[in-house]
Amino acid sequence: MTNATLTLPILVSAPGKLILFGEHSVVYDKPAIAASLASLRTYLLVTEANDPNSIELNFPDINFHHKWTTTDFEKIPHDSSATVDQMEQILNPDTVSPLSKTLIKNITPLLSALHRDTIHYNAAFSFLYLYLSLCPHQRGLNFTIKSTSPIGAGLGSSASISVILVTSMLLCQGVPFNKELINSWSFIGEKCLHGDPSGIDNLVSTYGGAVYFKRSDPTPIILQQFPSIPMVLTYTKIPRSTSTLVGGVRELHDKETKLCDLLLDSMGCVTERAMDILNHYDSSGANDNCHDSLLELVRINHGLLVSLGVSHPGLEQVRIVSDELRIGETKLTGAGGGGCAMTILKKDIDQDILKAFTDTIRDKLQYEIFQTNLGGRGCCYVPRDTISDGDLIRILKVFQDPVTVQEIDAVLLPEKSHLQWSDSE
Ligand SMILES: Nc1ncnc2c1ncn2[C@@H]1O[C@H](COP(=O)(O)OP(=O)(O)O)[C@@H](O)[C@H]1O
Ligand SMILES: C[C@@](O)(CCOP(=O)(O)O)CC(=O)O
Ligand SMILES: [Mg+2]
């Protein structure tokens, strides 16, 4: 099948996430609380490829551009014993079994030009796994991704690219927009990148808002009214890989199982306490005890993560500055090992002291500070018939040219752009 029946371009978007409590322990079926990051989003545009027989990847954020042609795909052995209807498989993703060994074997020759275990290899691997699962007969497509969220920073960029790839591939295959299906397939995409994801990142990126999540619980609690909590999000720019960090905790757990289980159980208790507090939290500041308790939980959660070995001197520096200035409590967020730290501020913090904190973070430590609201829209797409010719020119410019985050936001950010982002069928 070619893209003759497709209405291009396809434009989709998904947000990053912030784990407030329970990263890592969530992999071990302890509860965690996370919220989507309204303005730190990843966008995907699917257009016609120059070569009608090719699939092109254009991932400028990681400086990766690659192409496969029909000749490459013909190397994949045809499984004549396969009896299951392809649409049946698409509509019923197997999220429980490990990744398909056959599919991995088929993908390997298509990656021969790339170095194993590099960011490019991993991005191409997860793309191919999803492509061959969801729309293997589509050709003549170019997939271009642009993100305003930092990559490998603990803010869930891997989940957001899985979500947008899955959404676009399902639309390519003629499957109506369906969040449950997107969430399940993007979990499989996360497995390609992480090995053993909990599923919280893809869930938040798909549905948006905020959630209280437990891996074994099929119906996570969606937190309808997430309070506004004063915080500073610091990006240390220290690179790290989630799969390495999750693997490190797994090794420690294998070696010191009893001890680690106690730490993980404590983290679960922290999240449960936090949930209890958030349920009674009053953003207006009427209940300062709640806020103080939340700050304590941030400190405890970070300490437990340090014990699991997933902090980094760069993250500790952020914590030390916030401790020294007594502005609040800091914990790493996401997989740790670098990436981001969140500092929940004390109530009624002196603005000069806050400025001293942000100045030190920016000028002395050379880290970046992100401004973004918690919660907000999950995965969405722009129906083709709502895109005008003028819109199309602006959209193509954003995806094809080197542009600033502000320029991407002006054209694409759902809260700012006049594009008709939709999250229904
Ligand atoms: N904008 C993007 N373009 C291409 N690949 C991306 C992009 N964002 C994320 N990725 C993929 O996700 C991986 C980072 O995932 P991970 O280590 O889980 O960090 P995080 O999810 O915290 O950002 C990258 O190595 C890359 O494969
Ligand atoms: C460490 C973990 O809890 C979160 C990882 O998030 P990130 O990839 O660092 O954004 C792993 C997971 O939940 O799958
Ligand atoms: Mg990730």
Write the secondary structure of the chain as one string of H (helix), E (strand) and C (coil): CCHHHCCCCEEEEEEEEEEEECCCHHHHCCCEEEEEEEEEEEEEEEEECCCCCEEEEEEHHHCEEEEEEHHHHCCCCCCCCCCCCHHHHHHCCCCCCCCCHHHHHHHHHHHCCCCCCCHHHHHHHHHHHHHHHHCCCCCCEEEEEEECCCCCCCCCHHHHHHHHHHHHHHHHCCCCCCHHHHHHHHHHHHHHHHCCCCCHHHHHHHHCCEEEECCCCCCCEEECCCCCCCEEEEECCCCCCHHHHHHHHHHHHHHCHHHHHHHHHHHHHHHHHHHHHHHCCCCCCCCHHHHHHHHHHHHHHHHHHHHCCCCCHHHHHHHHHHHHCCCEEEEEECCCCCCEEEEEECCCCCHHHHHHHHHHHHHHCCCEEECCCECCCCCEEECHHHCCHHHHHHHHHHHHCCCCHHHHHHHHCCCCCCCCCECCC
Architecture per CATH, domain 3-222+374-412, reads as 2-Layer Sandwich (3.30)
Residue owning the nearest CA to atom 4 of ligand 1: 59
Q: What is the pLDDT of residues 101-148, one digit of tens each?
A: 999 999 999 999 999 989 999 999 999 999 999 999 999 999 999 999
The one catalytic residue among 29, 85, 201, 363: 201
Q: What is the pLDDT of residues 231-280, one digit of tens each?
A: 999 999 999 999 999 999 999 999 999 999 999 999 999 999 999 999 98
Q: What is the pLDDT of residues 31-45, one digit of tens each?
A: 999 999 999 999 999
Give pLDDT, residue 2. 47
Task: For this complex, say whether ipTM is above 0.95.
Answer: yes
What is the atom index within ligand 2 of the atom nearest the CA of 339?
9
How close is the Cα of 78 to the center of ligand 2, in Å? 36
Q: Which ligand has an atom closest to residue 126 CA?
A: 1
Q: Is 392 exposed, middle or buried (0-12, 13-18, 19+ CB in 10 A)?
A: middle
How close is the Cα of 74 to the center of ligand 1, in Å? 29
Q: Which ligand has an atom closest to residue 114 CA?
A: 1
What is the atom index within ligand 1 of the atom nearest the CA of 243?
17
Domain chopping of the chain, boundaries: 3-222+374-412, 228-370
CATH number of 228-370: 3.30.70.890
How close is the Cα of 151 to the center of ligand 1, in Å? 5
Residue owning the nearest CA to atom 16 of ligand 1: 152
Residue 285 has pLDDT above 90, yes or no: no
Give pLDDT, residue 1. 44
Residue 81 has pLDDT above 60, yes or no: no
Residue 323 has pLDDT above 60, yes or no: yes
Q: Which ligand has an atom closest to residue 18 CA?
A: 2
Q: Best substitution site from 27, 29, 236, 315 to test ligand 2's pocket, by max atoms within 8 Å of Cβ? A: 27
Entry pTM: 0.95
How close is the Cα of 262 to the center of ligand 2, in Å? 20
Question: Which residues face 374 on adjacent strands?
Answer: 37
Give pLDDT, residue 84. 66
Do the domains 3-222+374-412 and 228-370 sit in the same CATH topology, yes or no?
A: no
Residue 212 has pLDDT above 70, yes or no: yes
Residue owning the nearest CA to atom 19 of ligand 1: 152
Query: Is-catalytic flag, 201?
Result: yes
Mean pLDDT across the stretch 334-363?
A: 97
Cis peptide before 60 (omega within 30 of 0): no
